[in-house]
């Protein structure tokens, strides 16, 4: 059963699907989650705090998916290229299905979305409002590139070819190529060809885009 915090974040995300963030009212979020408005303010302190926590949750969900994908869970024996193609597929799915993830990856927040602060939000409301690691500032697109690249290097250290500097170059290139497809999608065969062109490894053919 979700906690009050998760229920409120779910309600805020659902509201954002149908209206711009400026039109999302705290009282409506609380009512949709089945809690009092006081509970909402106890959790987040302000609408700014709610926005920060919502974007933080969605970005953390994307990064957790990156880790799962690169771990090769459910794909025993997957080669480096296969795992990287799966990373492309996950990133494209996440960006297409979640406007907050897409905005975090591209830096294009627009007027419809709650752009995150680059510092912990000021806490309004009563004393004792909860502050947790989940309120941490959201990464810039460049910082997200670094996190995904580092995840690639950790997960595929034994499979990526070359010296450490070369592996870092490959990890950086794959990550930036992946994010470029968020901005300008391409056909699955093009994605696969370019990823495999970066890695002198062989493996089963996969098509990433559209999955």
Q: Is residue 55 part of a domain?
A: yes
Whether 211 is in a domain gets the answer no
Task: Give the chain's domain count.
Answer: 1
CB atoms under 10 Å from CB of 31, counted, come to: 14
115: three-class secondary structure by DSSP:
coil
Q: Does the pTM of the predicted model rise above 0.85?
A: no
Q: What is the pLDDT along the chain (211 residues), one digit of tens a residue?
A: 679 999 999 999 999 999 999 999 999 999 999 999 999 999 999 999 999 999 999 999 999 999 999 887 545 456 778 888 889 889 999 999 999 999 999 999 988 999 877 665 554 444 444 555 556 788 999 999 899 999 988 888 877 767 788 778 888 888 888 888 888 876 656 777 777 777 754 344 444 444 4
CA 180 to chain centre: 15
Report how far residue 91's alpha carbon sits from residue 80's, in angstroms, rounded to the nearest whole number: 16
Angstrom distance (rounded) from CA 56 to CA 138: 6
CATH number, residue 109: 1.10.357.10
Domain that holds residue 48: 4-198
On whether residue 28 sits in a domain, the answer given is: yes
Alpha helices in the chain (DSSP H): 4-18, 26-33, 37-44, 47-71, 80-97, 99-106, 141-155, 164-183, 188-198
In a domain, 207, yes or no: no
Q: Which residues of 139-174 are buried (b: 16+ CB within 10 A; e: fewer)?
A: beeeebbebbbebbbebbeebbeeeeeebbebbbeb
In this structure, is residue 151 part of a structural domain? yes
- Look at residue 209 and tell me if it is in a domain: no
- Distance separating alpha carbons of residues 204 and 188, to the nearest angstrom: 15
């Amino acid at each position: 059963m979700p906690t009050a915090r998760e229920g409120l974040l779910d309600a805020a995300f659902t509201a954002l699907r149908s209206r711009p963030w400026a039109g999302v009212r705290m009282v409506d979020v609380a009512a949709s989650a089945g809690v009092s408005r006081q509970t909402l303010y106890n959790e987040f302190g302000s609408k700014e705090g709610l926005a920060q926590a919502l974007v933080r949750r969605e970005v953390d969900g994307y990064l957790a998916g990156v880790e799962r994908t690169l771990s090769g869970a459910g794909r025993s024996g997957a080669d480096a290229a296969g795992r990287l193609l799966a990373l492309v597929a996950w990133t494209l799915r996440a960006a297409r299905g979640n406007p907050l993830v897409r905005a975090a990856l591209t830096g294009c927040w627009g007027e419809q979305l709650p752009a995150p602060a680059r510092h912990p939000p000021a806490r309004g409301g009563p004393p004792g409002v909860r502050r947790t690691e989940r309120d941490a500032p959201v990464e810039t697109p460049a910082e997200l590139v670094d996190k995904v690249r580092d995840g690639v290097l950790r997960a595929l250290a034994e499979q990526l070819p070359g010296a450490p500097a070369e592996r870092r170059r490959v990890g950086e290139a794959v990550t930036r190529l992946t994010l470029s497809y968020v901005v300008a999608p391409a056909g699955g065969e093009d994605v696969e060809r370019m990823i495999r062109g970066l890695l002198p490894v062989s493996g089963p053919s996969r098509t990433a885009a559209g999955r």
